[in-house]
């Protein structure tokens, strides 16, 4: 059987600059293509993708929890708008017969490819 009614697919490419002397990374642009089924509200779909990418940037470059030391958001860094580069979203719309009105869920799977795209 199928453990899930609908599967989500996506790919991302990160353009960035690396300063080898300082050991820093500057993101220039991220392009994200995701199969969304039928985009019932395309603006909200793009916002979901952008939010997932912001979370993925945090996972890849900023967030670190140290037990006993990381106690607040001053110590546990998360991305802000200044850390997120321009994002190009490509919505791949193939209505899914099992999704509501042909839509697919777009939660977790948009943040998964961000860190590998940056690290690649």
Token reading at 105: 């869920």
Residues 76/65, Cβ–Cβ less than 8 Å: yes
The beta strand positions in 1-120, using DSSP E, are 9-19, 24-35, 87-92
Residues 40/105, Cβ–Cβ less than 8 Å: no
* Catalytic residue list contains 108: yes
Q: Which CA distances in Å does 82 have to 105, 116, 119?
A: 28, 21, 20
| Region of 27 on the Ramachandran plot (φ > 0 left; ψ -120 to 50 alpha; else beta) | beta
Q: What is the set of active-site residues?
A: 108
């Amino acid at each position: 059987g199928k453990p899930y009614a609908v599967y989500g697919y996506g790919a991302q490419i990160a353009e960035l600059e690396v300063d080898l002397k300082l050991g820093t990374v500057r993101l220039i642009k991220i392009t994200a293509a995701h199969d969304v089924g039928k985009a019932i509200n395309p603006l909200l779909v793009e916002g979901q993708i952008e939010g997932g990418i912001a979370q993925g940037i945090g996972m890849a470059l900023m967030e670190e929890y140290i037990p006993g030391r990381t106690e607040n958001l001053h110590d546990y860094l998360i991305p802000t708008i200044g850390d997120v580069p321009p994002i190009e979203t490509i919505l791949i719309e193939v209505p899914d017969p099992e999704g509501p009105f042909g839509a697919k869920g777009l939660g977790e799977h948009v943040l998964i490819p961000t860190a590998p795209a940056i690290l690649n």
